[in-house]
């Protein structure tokens, strides 16, 4: 991979040299060709991203570990059941805000309560985010080229963003609502437009709790730009529809344990540590050094130069960084917690490079902005094959169903959850929400009483024979390895179900492989 990255950056340097040569010779055709080469490369990543949407949407198992558990939330809503209920061996709610599940309901009426529907909703959110990104950059730069570069960087950063944005999760809608809310506020057309922008920012909180950071930032920006007297209504709306509505939410709407799962549980996860700071800074330096620097410098420069007329994109830069830092404080999180921050680096970084070209002639003469863009694309580069799911996945899924049905006892698969169809795991509580209930700084999750309670059907099954299907060896599981006292390895299935592997993430879980049998 390093060789490919070196090749891409070498081509960037070569193209930049040709661009400088064209400028010196006043050869507009040559410089235009080079700019078109960059645009075509960006468009290539955009087209590939669209291909991935079609490639991923019908995948029969988890693209990300919790997708089937997210589906359980939607299925409960469709069945008229509350989402946030007491933990049970068959279902523990995820500690996320509820809007993604409920927003997916109309789509489920059309396409069914399944992974296809949830991924379709996520894809629409990602598409919307890409459109807003294009419009925002075009408005600021008055250039389709810069807008295409920004969206191309967004698409190319799919792996950096932990391959989450087309998964059955709320991340894409958090991103879209934050971007669109800021975009409306940036227009400064009318009080009504500003109100709608604030509403979208508040809605982002209901998709994912970190949206609250952007809602606060958006209202502060309006106060900074328009003055306190003109902004009291924005504060009132944000307070009423954000913390006010959240605090007053009746138990009958989302479930009796709504506040417990969406506030109490995640409040235990954060841990300020040297490792958290290293993770945060290391992620930025590794993936966004040029864009973060350009965006940060531009944000500071224009904040002092334009004061109250500074763009919302620059004003919100520290809030985006704060959202990423808050995510880094959770050591168990995947890198999707950095998505919104990363998009802000891309947006403000592109705007910053454009401003550099406009205000500093050598940046154009020496093609510095092209080198910055090329280096960013280089750092984002990954093997496209690593995110293309196997064409054998449907066949492997049917093989898995057949294999499970051939076993002479119930099967528990902690990293799968509950299947869409063909077989019912028993119990079906997922590993992640089960651990979420007890993890935190200094907490020992091994052989925890809460876990034993939820896994009582596994420890004391009604049947004489029972099984556990793991994605990795049970002895390596810090939460569940105590089950080895009751279960022994029955079979290592090798790569039989490898076509059902999850997409690459910070924590790679791959596919069901190790079968353990009750050792009575």
Average pLDDT, integer, range 396-412: 97
Query: CA separation (Å) from 59 to 120, 500, 504?
Result: 12, 8, 15
pLDDT at 4: 86
pTM of the predicted model as reported, rounded to 2 decimal places: 0.95
pLDDT digits (tens, 9 = 90+) for 253-274: 999 999 999 999 999 999 999 9
pLDDT at 7: 87
Rg of the chain over Cα atoms, rounded to whole angstroms, equals 25
Position 520 pLDDT exceeds 70: no
pLDDT at 2: 81
306 half-sphere exposure, CB direction, 13 A CA radius: 15
Average pLDDT, integer, range 455-459: 96
- In a 10 Å sphere around its CB, with 0-12 CB exposed, 13-18 middle and 19+ buried, how is residue 248 labelled? exposed
Q: What is the DSSP letter of 502?
A: P
Question: What whole-number distance in Å separates Cα of residue 413 and Cα of residue 429?
Answer: 8
pLDDT at 251: 87
Share of the chain above pLDDT 70, in %: 100
Of 441, 382, 512, 454, the closest CA to residue 65 belongs to: 512
The sign of the torsion formed by the CA atoms of 434, 342, 322, 247 equals negative
Question: What whole-number distance in Å separates Cα of residue 136 and Cα of residue 184?
Answer: 10
Average pLDDT, integer, range 115-141: 98
Query: CA separation (Å) from 397 to 59, 61, 478, 499?
Result: 9, 8, 28, 8
pLDDT at 406: 97
- H/E segment holding residue 455: none
Q: Are 499 and 159 in contact (CB under 8 A)?
A: no
Strand partners, 467: 411, 517
Q: How far apart are the first and last CA of the chain?
A: 49
pLDDT at 307: 86
pLDDT digits (tens, 9 = 90+) for 271-318: 999 999 999 999 999 999 999 999 999 999 999 998 889 999 999 999
Q: Are strands 487-492 and 514-518 parallel, antiparallel or unpaired?
A: antiparallel
pLDDT at 3: 85
Strand partners, 516: 468, 489
Contacts of 24 (CB under 8 A, 6+ apart): none
3-state helix, strand, coil in the chain (%, to 5): 65, 5, 30
Question: What whole-number distance in Å separates Cα of residue 337 and Cα of residue 44?
Answer: 26
Q: Are 343 and 7 in contact (CB under 8 A)?
A: no
pLDDT digits (tens, 9 = 90+) for 162-208: 999 999 999 999 999 999 999 999 999 999 999 999 999 999 999 99
Domain extents for the chain?
Answer: 2-56+95-387, 393-518
Three-state SS for 64-114 is: CCCHHHHHHHHHHHHCCCCCCCCCECCECCCCCCCHHHHHCHHHHHHHCCC
Q: Are strands 411-412 and 514-518 parallel, antiparallel or unpaired?
A: unpaired
pLDDT digits (tens, 9 = 90+) for 500-513: 999 999 999 999 99
Question: What whole-number distance in Å separates Cα of residue 187 and Cα of residue 230?
Answer: 16
């Amino acid at each position: 991979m390093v060789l490919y990255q070196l090749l891409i950056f070498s081509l960037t340097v070569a193209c930049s040299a040709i661009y400088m040569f064209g400028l010196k010779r006043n050869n507009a055709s040559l410089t235009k060709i080079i700019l078109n080469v960059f645009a075509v490369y960006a468009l290539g990543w955009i087209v590939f991203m669209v291909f991935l949407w079609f490639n991923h949407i019908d995948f029969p198992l988890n693209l990300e570990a919790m997708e089937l558990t997210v589906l359980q939330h939607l299925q409960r809503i469709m069945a008229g059941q509350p989402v946030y209920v007491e933990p049970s061996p068959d279902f523990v709610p995820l500690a996320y805000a509820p809007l993604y599940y409920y927003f997916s309901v109309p789509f489920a009426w059309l396409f069914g309560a399944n992974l296809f529907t949830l991924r379709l909703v996520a894809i629409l959110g990602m598409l919307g985010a890409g459109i807003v990104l294009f419009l925002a950059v075009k408005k600021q730069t008055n250039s389709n080229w810069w807008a295409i570069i920004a969206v191309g960087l967004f698409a190319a950063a799919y792996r950096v963003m932990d391959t989450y944005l087309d998964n059955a999760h709320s991340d894409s809608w958090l991103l879209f609502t934050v971007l669109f809310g800021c975009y409306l506020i940036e227009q400064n057309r009318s009080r009504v437009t500003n109100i709608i922008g604030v509403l979208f920012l508040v809605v982002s909180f209901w998709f994912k709790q970190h949206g609250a950071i952007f809602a606060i930032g958006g209202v502060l920006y309006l106060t900074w730009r328009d003055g306190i007297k003109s902004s009291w209504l924005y504060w009132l709306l944000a307070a009423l529809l954000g913390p006010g509505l959240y605090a007053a939410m009746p138990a009958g709407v989302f479930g009796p344990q709504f506040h417990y799962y969406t506030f109490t549980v995640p409040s235990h996860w954060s841990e300020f540590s040297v490792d958290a700071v290293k993770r945060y800074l290391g992620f930025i330096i590794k993936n966004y050094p040029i864009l973060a620097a350009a965006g940060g410098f531009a944000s500071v420069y224009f904040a002092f130069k334009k004061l109250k007329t500074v763009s919302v994109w620059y004003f919100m830069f520290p809030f985006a960084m704060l959202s990423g830092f808050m995510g880094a404080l959770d050591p168990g999180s995947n890198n999707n917690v950095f998505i919104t921050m990363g998009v802000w680096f891309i947006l403000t970084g592109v705007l910053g490079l454009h401003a550099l070209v406009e205000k500093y002639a050598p940046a154009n003469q020496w093609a510095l902005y092209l080198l910055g863009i090329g280096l960013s694309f280089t750092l984002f580069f990954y093997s496209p094959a690593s995110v293309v799911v196997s064409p054998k996945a449907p066949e492997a899924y049917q093989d898995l169903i057949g294999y499970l049905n051939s076993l002479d006892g119930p099967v528990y698969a902690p990293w799968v959850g509950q299947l869409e169809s063909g077989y019912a795991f028993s119990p079906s509580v997922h590993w992640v929400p089960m651990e979420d209930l007890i993890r935190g700084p200094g907490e020992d999750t091994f052989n925890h009483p809460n876990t034993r309670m939820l896994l009582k059907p596994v420890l004391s099954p009604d049947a004489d024979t029972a099984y556990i299907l793991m994605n990795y060896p049970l002895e390596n599981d810090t939460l569940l390895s105590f089950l080895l006292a009751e279960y022994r390895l029955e079979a290592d299935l090798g790569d039989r179900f490898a076509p059902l592997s999850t997409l690459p993430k910070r924590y790679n879980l791959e596919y069901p492989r190790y079968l353990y049998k009750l050792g009575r």
